[in-house]
Chains A and B, each alone.
Chain A
Amino acid sequence: KNQVEQSPQSLIILEGKNCTLQCNYTVSPFSNLRWYKQDTGRGPVSLTIMTFSENTKSNGRYTATLDADTKQSSLHITASQLSDSASYICVVSLLTGGGNKLTFGTGTQLKVEL
């Protein structure tokens, strides 16, 4: 069964601090790995997309890493802001004849406090 597991389930940090979120997956065959940010009551918004040949990708204060050998990814958030409070979802994509089929993790709920 294809699975995407994330840790921690939830996290509270102080504004300005850094944090790292983890993702392990067993999805196969693997096409790419994505990180999404989902604010409460909103749809997910794409942060990064990495293929198996990419080790790291940055988007502003967000940096994602990928180790396709160990099937692990991380999302590092630098100098956190209150607006970073959201659910961060790791998503692994299978490329099939029917398009990209996304398998979603359950997310890490991040809360940034003053």
Chain B
Amino acid sequence: NAGVMQNPRHLVRRRGQEARLRCSPMKGHSHVYWYRQLPEEGLKFMVYLQKENIIDESGMPKERFSAEFPKEGPSILRIQQVVRGDSAAYFCASSPEQGPQETQYFGPGTRLLVL
């Protein structure tokens, strides 16, 4: 059973370009979470999705950021018109169910660098 997969592992973009980050959850997992880790800071929650639904996007910036988890295929975190402040590591986690002690399994992250 492969773990959570994220690609690309590293992404370089110039200011104003778009960044697309992909996350394939573990097999059988229907809950996906996205987190952002800025340099020298802890991970910060961005968005929680189930298949085809956004459940909680309270941590997502209101503009330029969007996320989806289609019925088929990976979850996508999309950042439009990137700025230098978007440079960070973006982690995806998945879980098989929701509950007080559900374990979130993390992917290796995508490191985004905006030039």
Contacts and interface: CB of A to CB of B under 8 A. Distances in A.
B25 interface: no
A60 interface: no
Contacts of A1: none
Contact of B104 (A31, A41, A42, A100): A100
Nearest to B47: A98
Contacts of B56: 96, 98-99, 101
B69 to A, nearest CB: 13
Interface in B73-115: 91, 93, 98-109
A101 B101 contact: no
A22 to B, nearest CB: 15
Interface string A82-100: 0000000100010110111
B42 A106 contact: yes
Interface residues of A, number: 25
A19 interface: no
A44 B109 CA distance: 10
A106 B41 contact: yes
Nearest to B97: A99
A101 B103 CA distance: 12
B107 A43 contact: yes
Interface string B1-45: 000100000000000000000000000000101010000111111
A110 to B, nearest CB: 16
Given A89-B42, A102-B45, A104-B42, A45 B98 contact: no
Given A43-B4, A99-B56, A106 B107 contact: no
Contacts of A102: 33, 35, 43, 45, 104
Interface in B44-58: 44-45, 48, 55-56, 58
Given A43-B106, A95-B100, A102-B104, 10 more contacts: A4-B42, A32-B101, A43-B4, A51-B100, A96-B56, A100-B102, A101-B48, A101-B58, A104-B44, A106-B42
